[in-house]
Structures are given as structure tokens and as C-alpha cells.
Amino acid sequence: MKRPNAAACLRSLCLIALLSTVGLASLSGLLVSPCEVFAQDKPNVPNWKLRCADGSQVEFHDELAKGPVLVSFWALWCKPCLKELPHLDKLGKEYEGKLSVLAVNIDNSRSVARVRPYLSSKGYKFRVPLDTSGDLQRMLQIGSVVPFLIVYNSDGTEYYRHVGYKEGDEKELQKEVAALFTGEEDLAEDSQEEGVEDQEQ
């Protein structure tokens, strides 16, 4: 059998290596970019939908599409919860149009009828989803201790979490929310600057 020419073998190996490199680069361009776009568009937290005390429905991902979301679990029988609610209402008014406040009530089916009259008597403006079945608590692995508060940034990443309430906790929450929006604004400015640089190039 005739042995292959060494020069021919070398040329073949170089050609194979070149084709492999080009192929991988093309495949990377086809697969990675769409995945990155998808990851940016899809929130990093499961979606959920609940009926609210006023009869409307709220969907979590719809709220995230508007910006950061504060979710707090509370009940009528929980005194610390009732002390925290006015501060949540104040925060919601301060960041109206920027922060969605969802005060999820966890009273059972026997006592949930008292929720709406209570809210009306206080004049609270935040939305109150009703988790009478406890499904949302189980999905988010919320324990039995309330109030239980989570702040999500606009992509659904958990930014801040706090369990319980005592006087002064509202100041810490205020600082965290202010820092969140400072970070979101900085990120938006950076994105705009990158866009301008891309256009100039």
C-alpha cells in the first residue's frame, strides 16, 4: 500500500482545523446570542397569579414588567403585620409608578371576608392578593412566621428579604429600596452610554 504524502497530510490537517474553528464560531453566534436575549427577557423567578381583595387579579410577571416589586405576607391576626402595613403604604406612595407593593394576605377562608373592610377603614392603596389556600406560601417556601417581606429587582432577582417586624425596621427597608433604585438608575445609564458608543462606532 502506498503511504500518504507527508505534505498532503499536513495540508489536510490544517484544513480540518480551520473548518472546525469557523464552524464553532458560527455555531456560537447562532446559539449563544438568542439564549442571552431570552435570559434577559425572562424573569428569574416563577410566575404566579392571585385574586385580590378588591376583586381584581394580579400576575407577578406583569408587575415585574413595570419595575421592582415588594411582596409582603401578612394576616389580620398578626399584630406586627398590622404595624408594618402603614409603612408599606407610605413606601408605595413615595415610589408610585416605580415600585409595585403587593401585600399578600394569608388569612384562611373563614376570616378572609374581614380583609376588605379592614383595608377600607385604613385607606391603604397597595394591592392585596389573597393566598387563602397557602399555595403561594408553599411555592416560595415561606415559613409560618409573618410578616415575611421580599423585594425583587426588575429582572426578578431577589434583592432584599426580611422576616418579622419591629419598630425601626421600616427605616432599613427604606434604605434598601432607595439603594435598589440608585442601582437600577446607574444600570440604565450604563446601558444608554453603551448604546451611544455602539452607534458612534
pLDDT at res. 44: 83
Q: Which range, 11-20, 38-47, 91-100, is most confident?
A: 91-100
List the chain domain ranges.
Answer: 9-42, 49-190
pTM, two decimals, is: 0.73
pLDDT at res. 201: 60
What is the DSSP-derived secondary structure letter of residue 62? H
Q: Say if residue 130's pLDDT is above 60.
A: yes
DSSP letter for each residue of 63-120? HHTTS-EEEEEE-TT-HHHHHHHHHHHHHHHHTTTT-EEEEEE---TTTGGGHHHHHH
Q: Going by CATH, does the domain composed of 49-190 fall within 3.40.30.10?
A: yes
| Mean pLDDT value across residues 96-120 | 97
Nearest to 136 by CA among 86, 91, 72: 72
Q: Is residue 151 a contact partner of residue 184, using CB atoms and an 8 Å limit?
A: no
Identity of the residue numbered 75: A
Cα(190)–Cα(198) distance, integer angstroms: 12
Q: Which residue has the cell 473548518?
A: 19
